């Protein structure tokens, strides 16, 4: 039997649901693309990327056949680049393991690279109407308020409690519509700040509204420690050419390009930097002219705060630095770079 909360949410959705391109399709590939793009991204920003990806790669084989550089370039500006790499790897996996046809079974979908519980449930339900409840940030918020739950959402027990409750509420005959309804309701009505409780169709049964805890739901256990890092980029220039380095694994921005980087453990000025080992090794005895020092605004990632300065330095001859590529300055636009470098280059 359909839960009364599910009936109310579906009725609300039929009147207030947003019209978005990935809602007009049952194509699992397009739904998957939209889900990966929209993780930690606002719909307004994600929409442009979704359109760009579906236009360039209308079928999954085309995404699989693309180079990683091209995928990262198309992704540039969205952040969380591991998602783009996983997207690319999963497309290749679909071609290699499923003959290029997006799997229609929940466990097979869950086996794809980068696909977690949320994304698997979203694709299985939205594309194939399979009875899997989604639990994303919106769902956590809505359920925590409706049932006034104080169990932290970032604990194993909390996740299990919410997953069970979400599955109980799911309208199993209309999984796609129900899941879209509860996520949209959280995004536009039961919002993090200033939820629209006055016009909410569930206000009469909302326990957090009754006891006055709306503003403190959901509960999170603790914050992740933020690490400060100090980046010094050397934009070396000689005869219209410069050096770029491709970041490798084990750190942020894997696969993206950047100028040669010196990272220090604390605030460091240029006079100290030029005495440091990588700088002296790279530049050797050759003379140089510092043309510009550009400190950037603090760049915040999920667990890191980057304090960054770009130094534009003219040299007679570009040094040979391991792992770098010599390119012409006007080719800089052809390389996928992190947002931080993009901001510097936009000057």
Q: What are the residue ranges of helices labelled H in the chain?
A: 4-16, 28-38, 43-56, 60-65, 68-75, 81-98, 106-110, 117-128, 137-146, 156-169, 175-188, 207-211, 270-273, 277-283, 339-345
Q: Smallest gap, in angstroms, from Cβ of residue 7 to ligand SF4?
A: 15
Q: Which is nearer to ligand SF4, 197 or 238 (CB)?
A: 197
Among 103, 114, 158, 195, binds ligand SF4 (CB under 6 A): 195
Residues tagged active-site: 35
CB of 39 to ligand SF4, least distance (A): 23
Judged by CB under 6 A, the number of residues near ligand SF4 is 15
CB of 177 to ligand SF4, least distance (A): 19
If one asks whether residue 208 binds ligand SF4 (CB under 6 A), the answer comes out as yes
Q: How many CB atoms lie within 10 A of CB 268?
A: 17
Burial 210-245 (b: 16+ CB within 10 A, else e): eeebbeebbbeeeeeeeeebbbbbbbbbbeeebbbb
- Least distance CB 94 / ligand SF4 (angstroms): 38
- 9 binds ligand SF4 per the rule CB under 6 A: no
Residue 171 CB, shortest distance to ligand SF4, in Å, is 17
Q: Which is nearer to ligand SF4, 141 or 232 (CB)?
A: 141
Residue 25 or 188: the one with the smaller Cβ distance to ligand SF4 is: 188
CB-count exposure of residue 281 (10 Å: 0-12, 13-18, 19+): exposed
Binding status of residue 200 toward ligand SF4 by CB under 6 A: yes
The answer to whether 132 and 121 have CB atoms below 8 angstroms apart is: yes
Cα 88 from chain centroid (whole Å): 14
> How many angstroms separate the first and last alpha carbons of the chain?
60
244 binds ligand SF4 (CB under 6 A): no
Identify whether 218 is preceded by a cis peptide bond (ω within 30 of 0). Answer: yes
Cα–Cα distance for residue pair 271/254, rounded to 1 Å: 30
Q: Does 206 bind ligand SF4 (CB under 6 A)?
A: yes
CA 93 to mean position of chain CA atoms: 21
Site membership for ligand SF4, residue 143 (CB under 6 A):
no
189 binds ligand SF4 (CB under 6 A): yes
- Does position 149 interact with ligand SF4 (CB under 6 A)? The reply is no
Nearer to ligand SF4 by Cβ, of 147 and 253: the residue is 147
Kindly list the residues in this chain that would bind ligand SF4 in the complex (CB under 6 A). 142, 145-146, 189-190, 195-197, 200, 202-203, 206, 208-209, 214
């Amino acid at each position: 039997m359909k839960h009364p909360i599910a009936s109310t949410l579906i009725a609300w959705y039929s009147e207030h649901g947003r019209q978005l391109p990935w809602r007009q399709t049952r194509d699992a590939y397009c739904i998957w693309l939209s889900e990966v793009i929209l993780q930690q991204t606002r719909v307004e920003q994600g929409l442009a990327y979704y359109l760009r990806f579906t236009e360039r790669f209308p079928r999954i084989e085309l995404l699989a056949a693309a180079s990683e550089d091209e995928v990262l370039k198309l992704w540039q500006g969205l952040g969380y680049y591991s998602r783009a790499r996983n997207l690319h790897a999963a497309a290749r996996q679909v071609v290699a393991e499923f003959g290029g046809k997006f799997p229609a079974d929940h466990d097979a979908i869950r086996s794809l690279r980068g696909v977690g519980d949320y994304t698997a449930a979203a694709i299985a339900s939205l594309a194939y109407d399979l009875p899997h409840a989604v639990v994303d940030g919106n769902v956590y918020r809505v359920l925590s308020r409706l049932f006034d739950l104080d169990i932290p959402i970032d604990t194993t027990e909390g996740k299990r409690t919410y997953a069970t409750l979400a599955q109980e509420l799911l309208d199993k005959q209309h999984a796609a519509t129900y899941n879209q309804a509860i996520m949209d309701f959280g995004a536009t009505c039961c919002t993090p700040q200033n939820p629209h409780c006055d016009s909410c169709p569930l206000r009469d049964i909302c326990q957090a509204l009754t006891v006055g805890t709306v503003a403190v739901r959901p509960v999170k256990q603790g914050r992740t420690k933020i690490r400060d890092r100090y980046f010094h980029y050397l934009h070396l220039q000689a005869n219209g050419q410069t050096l770029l380095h491709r970041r490798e694994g084990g750190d942020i921005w894997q696969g993206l390009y950047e100028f040669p980087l010196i990272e220090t453990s604390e605030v460091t000025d240029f006079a100290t930097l030029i005495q440091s080992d990588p700088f002296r090794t790279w530049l050797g005895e050759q003379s140089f002219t510092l043309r510009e020092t550009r400190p950037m605004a603090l760049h915040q990632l999920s667990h890191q705060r980057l304090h960054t300065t770009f130094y534009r330095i003219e040299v007679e001859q570009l040094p040979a630095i391991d792992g770098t590529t010599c390119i012409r300055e006007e080719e800089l636009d052809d390389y996928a770079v992190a947002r931080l470098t993009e901001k510097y280059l936009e000057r």
